[in-house]
């Protein structure tokens, strides 16, 4: 992704520990990425409820002297990123991704399940990814591509008390053992799994019977270690973004 502006903003957003105006600007930027370059500074101030000074201060940390130069860079990056994705997808075959690592015994069933998942993602208003720091960081390419397609994707931060998960969200839990999933459920008793669209990617087979096959990608492995899980996780996110691009992209 190099120095593409979206990647730099995601680097800040995914890594910050503070619920401040910089964080809120990143949220607004991700939510409005496709049309952001068309907005004037005054429109951003009005819609985001963030002060002009706070916005310009954050942009200065990104290396911009004014809003216009930020807008120009963003417009160029939107075109560049879309071209990069198109060229990357040309001639790409799903079989090539499956050859990288063994994910399942029934490839056709796995692809069918991912088709359903991508359909549900396309119907959602945003995606929220929840899990331990390193596993969810593997999803950053998935996050970047889907934002480029116009689908907001956020990594979950426990300090963000303003994030209200609802039935319009698609939540992806990434938890090899299931501990991160269980911890979230214990801390959020109001999260109703029966009315929420969500997916759990895990190595722990018990969740298939506990919460249902349709909501679990079970990453079968002879080795229950994080390295093996992370390699498979990377491939799963790659297949998901390729599937989403081929069926639901709008660029």
Cβ neighbours of residue 166 under 8 Å, at least 6 residues apart?
A: 196
Looking at residue 1, its pLDDT comes to: 44
Q: Kindly state the helix (H) or strand (E) to which residue 224 belongs, with its residue range.
A: none
Topology of domain 103-248, CATH? Rossmann fold (3.40.50)
Question: Which is nearest to 218 in space by CA: 251, 178, 158, 190?
Answer: 178
Token look-up 């000074």 returns 53
Alpha-carbon Rg for the chain in angstroms: 19
The dotted CATH code for 5-88 is 1.10.10.10
Predicted TM-score (pTM) of the model is 0.92
For the chain, give every domain's residue range.
Answer: 5-88, 103-248
Distance in angstroms (rounded) separating the CA atoms of residues 79 and 82: 5
| Tokens of residue 135, six digits | 């596993």
List the pLDDT tens digit at each of the 251 positions of the chain.
446 899 999 999 999 999 999 999 999 999 999 999 999 999 999 999 999 999 999 999 999 999 999 999 999 999 998 888 888 888 777 777 777 666 676 778 888 888 999 999 999 999 999 998 889 999 999 999 999 999 999 999 999 988 888 889 999 999 999 999 999 999 988 887 776 789 999 999 999 999 988 899 988 776 666 788 888 899 899 999 999 998 887 55
Looking at residue 101, its pLDDT comes to: 64
DSSP annotation of 217 reads E
Q: Kindly state the helix (H) or strand (E) to which residue 108 belongs, with its residue range.
A: helix 107-123
Looking at residue 121, its pLDDT comes to: 95
């Amino acid at each position: 992704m190099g120095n593409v502006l979206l990647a730099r903003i995601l680097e800040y957003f995914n890594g910050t520990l503070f619920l401040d105006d910089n964080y809120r600007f990143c949220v607004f930027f991700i939510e409005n990425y496709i049309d952001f370059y068309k907005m004037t500074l005054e429109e951003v101030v009005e819609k985001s409820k963030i002060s002009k000074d706070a916005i310009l201060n954050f942009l200065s940390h990104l290396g911009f002297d004014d809003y216009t130069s930020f807008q120009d860079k963003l417009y160029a990056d939107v075109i560049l990123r879309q071209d990069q994705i198109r060229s990357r997808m040309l001639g790409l075959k799903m079989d090539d991704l499956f050859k990288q690592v063994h994910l399942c015994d029934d490839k056709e069933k796995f692809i069918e399940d991912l088709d359903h998942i991508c359909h549900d993602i396309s119907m959602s208003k945003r995606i929220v990814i929840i899990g331990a720091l390193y596993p969810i960081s593997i999803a950053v390419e998935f996050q970047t591509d889907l934002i480029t397609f116009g689908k907001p994707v956020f990594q979950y931060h426990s300090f963000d008390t303003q994030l209200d998960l609802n039935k319009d969200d698609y939540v992806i839990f990434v938890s090899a053992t299931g501990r991160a999933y269980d911890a979230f459920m214990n801390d959020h008793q109001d999260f109703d799994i029966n009315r929420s669209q969500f997916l759990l990617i895990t190595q722990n087979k018990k969740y298939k019977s506990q919460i249902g096959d349709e909501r679990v990608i079970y990453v079968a492995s002879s080795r229950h270690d994080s390295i093996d899980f992370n390699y498979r996780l990377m491939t799963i996110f790659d297949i998901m973004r390729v599937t989403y691009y081929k069926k639901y992209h709008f660029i």
